[in-house]
A and B are shown apart, each in its own frame.
Chain A
Amino acid sequence: MKQEYIITVYSENHIGMLSRITLVFTRRKINIDSLTVSESAIEGIFKFTIVIKSTPDLIVKVVGQIEKQIDVLKAFYHTNDEMIYQEIALYKVATEALYENDTIEKIVRNAGARILEITREYTVIEKTGHKTETQELFFELNKFKVMQFIRSGRVALTRDPIERLSEFLKERDAVLEQID
């Protein structure tokens, strides 16, 4: 059975890394549902957060093939319930719609969203949450016509108390010392 997995890849900051990583998915015709890349807490090391649907069997192989890339330090995979994750969504609605009645304001308040910017023509609303939540807000707001909408890729943290990568780097250093 396929389910959603979050893959976290730590890599050196080298040109072409994104291609090398996505090639592993392309080869197996796996669709990437969401992708976020940014520098990690450790300077010079980049973190990729990739969401795909996979079977438990396949995810191991895919992550193994990602980790095999020379400039990849480490790759982890988790199911959704093993991680705390969020996506951010921005919605642009006509400011006029806001003045006509207070429904939009209520929707925004109830959804735990906030208003980011108001101009004469439009208002930008921001909501952080899971895709189902940002999607639901879209549905609600779209009753008043959403002029523009964008959702980010996922960002995710493990429930571990420590940054796993620093542990990993320590271990790796020790192993590399051992090897002649």
Chain B
Amino acid sequence: MTTKKVTGSQAVILSLLEEEVDTIFGYPGGAIMPIYDALYDHNDHVKHILTRHEQGAIHAAEGYARVTGKPGVCFATSGPGATNLITGIADAMLDSVPLVCIIGQVASPLLGTDAFQESDVVGISMPVTKWNYQITTPEEIPETIAKAFYIANSGRPGPVLIDITKDAQFGEFDFEYKKCTKIRSYLPEQPINKFKIKEAADIIDNAERPLLLFGQGVIIGRAEEELKAFVEKTGIPAAWTLLGLSALPTDHPLNVGMLGMHGNYGPNQLTNHADVIISVGMRFDDRVTGKVSSYATEAKIIHLEIDPAEIHKIIRADVPILGNSKKSLKLLTDQVKENRHDEWLARFRESDKTEQEKIIQKELFPEKPGLTMGEVVRIAGDKTNHEAVLVTDVGQHQMVASRYFKFRHPRSNVTSGGLGTMGFGLPAAMGAQIGAPDRKVIAFIGDGGFQMTIQELGTIAQNKLPVKIVVLNNNFLGMVRQWQQLFFEKRYSFTELQNPDFIAIAKGFGIDAHKVEVRDDLESSIQTMIDHPGPYMLEVVIEKEDNVFPMVPSGASVSDIMLEL
């Protein structure tokens, strides 16, 4: 391999190119200026998206990573630049999103002196990164970046942060790049234990009421086909978590819907009737399990998982199967017998009917004058032929969109699940659009969350990103208001919003926009939005005090799922 003399900054860019990075989301400042200067020479090779806030950059990087499966790359300066990334890094940590964040730091002689814009970024980010490292000499740059990419996107993915002091960015050295393929102290995935596969297969073959729960692990592991093959061979009903959405087509005959607090009636309530539960790439989050002591009370648990720390963390697994879900599902499919569970499946369909009558019908086809979130989601889904990428912010609209948007293709759902970060939606949609330029990206965002990162309309306009933004405006922090109504005697403590003129704001940013207030205007307006070649914002005024149902109240058992008030 040939080497050449470069500065640390140039080495950063060259290393990113070696990792085939095509997009960087970032925001410059003093401590990262040498790296931005080096970037100036590589405009043709790598795109840089200048966001309006570092939080925008990090969520955009997440959106990009979620639709592509490649690490999202983020630049920020020291001090406030870096601290502004923290929310997004924490979000990526909980949702296993691969990110490589490169941060400028004050020159190494100044470390620890409270220098201008110095903050202990390695310390601050430690609890929310999969790995982080501070570089103080240029020689460390290629090796550290190679390691960062390997760690971020192998095993259970996660965010990685590299802090580079300014003197390391200026220093010269002989550049040589070698990709990282292994680290002695890090085993990204365990070899699969064939005995456990056999043991699981026996249990599955003898199960009468088996239920499969799948999460994002299937998508991360690119195991969608393996999942489908497994359920089709065994005839086992399969339910997705919020982050498992789109890993199986919505209308697959064995897809029985969504788990969790606002998931579907069937899979929640029947969890406690199943005799075997096979969980794949999901981590029994408390929003899924409800009260743990009365969760899956009759079931033997088979847990397919890549992260050993997840095994027995919440729910004791009778048969843990560590390893990559793509491989373990394949091995398991080979071992199990062909089977059908028609009667058991029929019980899910029976529950669906109840849910349809009590909830879905009036949410999707309301007869009252006020608009519902559900009908907006339904029409937008239909009009995009169920082929769009769904991006959601956090709140009622997130739950409604996740419940009613339909999926045909994997990697079509981008949402903040674990951290539930309001303000995620808009920037994540822009990153998703950059990652999937040929797909339609529709973001549903509440009027509250929209105002947390609204400035990213500027980034969307500047880069002409054709994202479709649907603001579901109920003039409330809807989800919190719902809890206040249900659990705090309707004491609406600080949840009502006086909103700005969103249309004027969008137009001010140079984005076409339209406001829908009546049902007659809804369908054609959604059509206009979808046909619009550039970015577009549609504000839909929603009934102020609608609630999302069903609901497993926090702390209740999944079998106590409420269908109505």
Which residues on A are within 8 Å of B, measured CB to CB? 11-12, 15-16, 19-20, 23, 27, 60-61, 64-65, 67-68, 70-73, 169, 172-173, 175-176, 178-179
Q: A63's closest neighbor in chain B, by CB?
A: B309
Indicate if the CB atoms of B126 and A19 lie closer than 8 Å.
Answer: yes
Chain B neighbourhood of A172, CB < 8 A: 184, 187
Q: CA separation between A175 and B188, bound complex, in Å?
A: 11
Indicate if the CB atoms of A11 and B185 lie closer than 8 Å.
Answer: yes
Indicate if the CB atoms of B151 and A70 lie closer than 8 Å.
Answer: yes
- Given A72-B185, A175-B187, 5 more pairs with CB closer than 8 A: A20-B126, A61-B312, A64-B311, A65-B309, A68-B309
Q: CA separation between A38 and B369, bound complex, in Å?
A: 71
Q: CA separation between A175 and B155, bound complex, in Å?
A: 14
Q: CA separation between A19 and B127, bound complex, in Å?
A: 9
Indicate if the CB atoms of B308 and A64 lie closer than 8 Å.
Answer: yes
B 175-189 to A, binary, CB cutoff 8 A, 1 in contact else 0: 000000011111111
Shortest Cβ distance from B118 into chain A, in angstroms? 17
Indicate if the CB atoms of B126 and A27 lie closer than 8 Å.
Answer: no
Q: CA separation between A133 and B330, bound complex, in Å?
A: 57
Indicate if the CB atoms of A68 and B308 lie closer than 8 Å.
Answer: yes
Chain A neighbourhood of B186, CB < 8 A: 70-71
Q: Quick check: is B307 within 8 A (CB to CB) of the other chain?
A: yes
Indicate if the CB atoms of B187 and A27 lie closer than 8 Å.
Answer: no
Q: B134's closest neighbor in chain A, by CB?
A: A15
Instruction: Give the secondary structure class of A's interface.
Output: helix
What are 8 A-B contacts defined by CB distance under 8 Å? Answer: A19-B123, A19-B126, A61-B312, A64-B311, A64-B313, A73-B185, A175-B191, A178-B191
Q: A27's closest neighbor in chain B, by CB?
A: B127
Q: Quick check: is B468 within 8 A (CB to CB) of the other chain?
A: no
Chain B neighbourhood of A70, CB < 8 A: 130-131, 151, 183, 185-186
Indicate if the CB atoms of A23 and B126 lie closer than 8 Å.
Answer: yes
Shortest Cβ distance from B29 into chain A, in angstroms? 24
Q: Which of B115-140 contact A (CB under 8 A)?
A: 122-123, 126-127, 130-132, 134
Chain A neighbourhood of B312, CB < 8 A: 60-61
Chain A neighbourhood of B309, CB < 8 A: 61, 64-65, 67-68
Chain B neighbourhood of A173, CB < 8 A: 184
Which residues on B are within 8 Å of A, measured CB to CB? 122-123, 126-127, 130-132, 134, 151, 182-189, 191, 307-309, 311-313
Indicate if the CB atoms of A176 and B185 lie closer than 8 Å.
Answer: no
Q: CA separation between A95 and B309, bound complex, in Å?
A: 54
Q: CA separation between A16 and B122, bound complex, in Å?
A: 8
Indicate if the CB atoms of A176 and B184 lie closer than 8 Å.
Answer: yes
Chain B neighbourhood of A73, CB < 8 A: 184-185
Chain A neighbourhood of B122, CB < 8 A: 16
Indicate if the CB atoms of A67 and B189 lie closer than 8 Å.
Answer: no
Chain B neighbourhood of A179, CB < 8 A: 182, 188-189, 191
Indicate if the CB atoms of B185 and A71 lie closer than 8 Å.
Answer: yes
Q: CA separation between A37 and B226, bound complex, in Å?
A: 45
Shortest Cβ distance from A27 into chain B, in angstroms? 7
Chain A neighbourhood of B191, CB < 8 A: 175, 178-179
Q: CA separation between A71 and B311, bound complex, in Å?
A: 21
Shortest Cβ distance from B98 into chain A, in angstroms? 14
Shortest Cβ distance from B15 into chain A, in angstroms? 19
Chain B neighbourhood of A169, CB < 8 A: 184
Chain B neighbourhood of A23, CB < 8 A: 126-127
Chain B neighbourhood of A178, CB < 8 A: 191
Indicate if the CB atoms of A12 and B185 lie closer than 8 Å.
Answer: yes
Chain B neighbourhood of A19, CB < 8 A: 123, 126
Q: Which of A20, A60, A172, A179 has the most CB of B within 10 A?
A: A179
Q: CA separation between A20 and B132, bound complex, in Å?
A: 10
Shortest Cβ distance from A159 into chain B, in angstroms? 25
Q: CA separation between A76 and B242, bound complex, in Å?
A: 35
Shortest Cβ distance from A146 into chain B, in angstroms? 37
Q: CA separation between A128 and B406, bound complex, in Å?
A: 68
Q: Which of B126, B183, B309 has the most CB of A within 10 A?
A: B309
Q: CA separation between A143 and B151, bound complex, in Å?
A: 57
Shortest Cβ distance from B285 into chain A, in angstroms? 15
5 shortest A-B CB distances, which residue pairs?
A64-B309, A70-B131, A73-B185, A68-B309, A70-B186
